[in-house]
Chains A and B, each alone.
Chain A
Amino acid sequence: DTEVTQTPKHLVMGMTNKKSLKCEQHMGHRAMYWYKQKAKKPPELMFVYSYEKLSINESVPSRFSPECPNSSLLNLHLHALQPEDSALYLCASSQGASHSYEQYFGPGTRLTVT
């Protein structure tokens, strides 16, 4: 199984809502990532978890809160988002926390903030 799954596929939320994005992999990977991608732009790294510990936070606003409950799961909790946060949110995983390892990406969650 070389698949990274993300739920939901689409999410529409108001600026006062609280929602969560979920990512799951069963490849035994020990590094997991969140990216944000706006239309016609490259993916922007948000967070990196290595062995279930947050290792990189790219100065992301606190309205985005990551969580790694175990080595297979990665969540992104959303609260008080702004319309400019509307984007495709991508999750990825890799065998190790190093550039030398191939990253496997999920299909993404399309988020719209109204």
Chain B
Amino acid sequence: LAKTTQPISMDSYEGQEVNITCSHNNIATNDYITWYQQFPSQGPRFIIQGYKTKVTNEVASLFIPADRKSSTLSLPRVSLSDTAVYYCLVGYNNDMRFGAGTRLTVKP
């Protein structure tokens, strides 16, 4: 099972682009990379998922280098409402195990 490492916390300001990197050195060939967002006292919410290269949706982009040993979640032009904990998960089967997560604080 691939272990993930993320920064414990990050600060940003409204309107800036935020990049959160996750390290997963022992990622397996079949593993997917998935990011979730969680607000206090709520369940996590799916943000984006990828396998390789770049994936983009309406809220974020996910950059995965060729060796897949890391991934970067990019949030364009963050707002105060993006203050949350962001989790990177790596796996293939249904054994969803969350890492420690990154607590993002967006300041005005």
Q: A42-B98, A108-B43 are in contact. List 18 more A-B contacts (CB 8 A).
A: A31-B94, A42-B99, A42-B100, A45-B95, A56-B94, A94-B94, A97-B93, A97-B94, A98-B93, A99-B31, A99-B34, A99-B92, A99-B96, A100-B32, A100-B49, A102-B34, A102-B49, A105-B44
Write the nearest CB–CB distance from B55 to chain A, whole angstroms: 13
Main secondary structure of the interface of B (DSSP, over half): loop
Number of residues from A at the complex interface, CB < 8 A:
27
List the interface of chain A (C-beta within 8 A of B).
Answer: 4, 31, 33, 42-45, 48, 50, 55-56, 88, 90, 92, 94, 97-100, 102-108, 110
Known A42-B99, A42-B100, A48-B95: A99·B32 in contact at CB below 8 Å: yes
Q: Which residues of B contact A108 (CB under 8 A)?
A: 41-43
List the interface of chain B (C-beta within 8 A of A).
Answer: 31-32, 34, 36, 41-46, 49, 87, 89, 91-101
Write the nearest CB–CB distance from A89 to chain B, whole angstroms: 10
A33 nearest CB neighbor, chain B only: B96
In whole angstroms, how far apart are the Cα atoms of A102 and B97 in the complex? 14
A99 & B93 in contact (Cβ 8 Å cutoff): yes
Main secondary structure of the interface of A (DSSP, over half): strand
In whole angstroms, how far apart are the Cα atoms of A50 and B98 in the complex? 19
In whole angstroms, how far apart are the Cα atoms of A24 and B99 in the complex? 26
Q: Max chain A CB contacts within 10 Å: which of B32, B44, B46, B101? A: B44
What are 25 A-B contacts defined by CB distance under 8 Å?
A4-B43, A31-B94, A33-B94, A33-B96, A42-B99, A42-B101, A45-B98, A48-B94, A94-B94, A97-B93, A98-B92, A99-B31, A99-B32, A99-B92, A99-B95, A99-B96, A100-B32, A100-B49, A102-B49, A104-B46, A105-B44, A107-B42, A108-B41, A108-B42, A110-B41
In whole angstroms, how far apart are the Cα atoms of A49 and B27 in the complex? 25
A100 & B98 in contact (Cβ 8 Å cutoff): no
Q: Which residues of B contact A50 (CB under 8 A)?
A: 94
Q: Which residues of B contact A97 (CB under 8 A)?
A: 93-94
